[in-house]
């Protein structure tokens, strides 16, 4: 996203729009204030914020990401846009970038450290994932994701399209930054414990990358995302009682075993993410 186009006839929310524009400029992103069809920049670099149906039609034709402003109380029907808002106080540059990336199918970077990058998965990751799950012992205590064949590929596509777009979280890809290699998966899924919905931690690191601190690093970044972005109070981990290595790991990073097991006798571990936070 290189340019944000504002084309708003409504004069409401001017204060919030002014703050948003200041933030956009601080990221060295251009701002244009004109009808979308008059903007000369490359179409795939634009995000439009508009209340004009003519802009929506133009955006559909040229594959431009659009946030449509609906004046409160008007209830105008609009389709084919990426988001409809009735105010701007909740929008910031990071969220605008996410809307732009969702529109173009680009993976969201979740976190980076000196050694790893965690990002949303893309279809091209599937070959590496298939190799990971074929490693000896990998599926002893993990459910088979059933990624094989064309049906597996379609299941993976569906997961990317639906899970990330709807929840803004899921199981992501872990890359070693120095080599660019895919070394595992980590992330958050929707779980259930004692009839209550919980956020479930998931992690997997390939055998060549274990015992080097990569799993601890990836999980730590996932916990930070859950606490800061999702405002979650806790994460749960569901571990087979015979998976001794995973139990040792989850204990070492501060999870506590809950008294009651989960379905099929799995052990349930929990970590308070807000403890000690201001």
- CA dihedral (42, 47, 49, 51) in degrees, to 10, reads 60
| Largest interatomic CA distance in the chain | 64
Q: What is the mean pLDDT of residues 142-152?
A: 86
Contact 83, 68 (CB under 8 A): yes
What percentage of the chain carries pLDDT values higher than 70? 98
- Torsion-angle region of 247 (φ positive above 0: left; ψ -120 to 50: alpha; else: beta): alpha
Residues 6 or more apart whose CB falls under 8 angstroms from that of 183 comprise 116, 174, 175, 176, 205, 206, 208, 209, 214
Structural domains for the chain: 3-104 (3.40.50.1000), 109-272 (3.40.630.30)
pLDDT digit string (tens) for 183-221?
A: 999 999 999 999 999 999 999 999 999 999 999 999 999
pLDDT digit string (tens) for 33-60?
A: 999 999 998 999 999 999 999 999 999 9
- Mean confidence (pLDDT) of the chain: 92
This prediction's pTM: 0.84
pLDDT at 75 over 90: no
């Amino acid at each position: 996203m290189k340019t944000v186009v504002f084309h708003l006839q409504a004069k409401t929310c001017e204060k919030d729009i002014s703050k948003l524009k200041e933030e956009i400029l601080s990221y060295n992103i251009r701002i244009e204030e004109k009808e979308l069809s008059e903007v000369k920049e490359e179409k795939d670099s634009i995000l439009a914020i508009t209340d004009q149906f003519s802009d929506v039609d133009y955006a559909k034709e040229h594959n431009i990401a659009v946030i449509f402003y609906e004046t409160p109380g008007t209830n105008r029907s609009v389709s084919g846009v990426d988001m409809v808002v009735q105010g701007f106080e909740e929008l910031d540059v990071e969220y605008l970038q996410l809307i732009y990336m969702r529109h173009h199918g680009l993976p969201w970077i979740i976190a980076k450290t000196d050694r790893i990058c965690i990002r949303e998965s893309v279809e091209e990751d599937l070959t590496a994932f298939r190799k990971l799950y074929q490693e000896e012992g990998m599926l002893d205590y993990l459910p088979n994701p059933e990624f094989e064949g064309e049906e597996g590929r379609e299941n993976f596509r569906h997961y990317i399209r639906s899970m990330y777009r709807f929840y803004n979280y899921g199981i992501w890809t872990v890359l070693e930054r120095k080599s660019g290699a895919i070394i595992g998966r980590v992330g958050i899924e929707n779980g259930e414990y004692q009839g209550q919905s919980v956020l479930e931690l998931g992690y997997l690191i390939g055998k060549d990358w274990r015992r080097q601190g990569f799993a601890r690093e990836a999980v730590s970044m996932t916990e930070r995302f859950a606490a800061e972005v999702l405002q979650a109070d806790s994460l749960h981990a569901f571990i087979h009682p015979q998976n001794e290595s995973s139990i040792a790991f989850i204990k070492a990073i501060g999870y506590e075993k809950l008294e009651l097991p989960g379905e099929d006798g799995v052990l349930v571990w929990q970590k308070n993410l807000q403890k000690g936070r201001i």
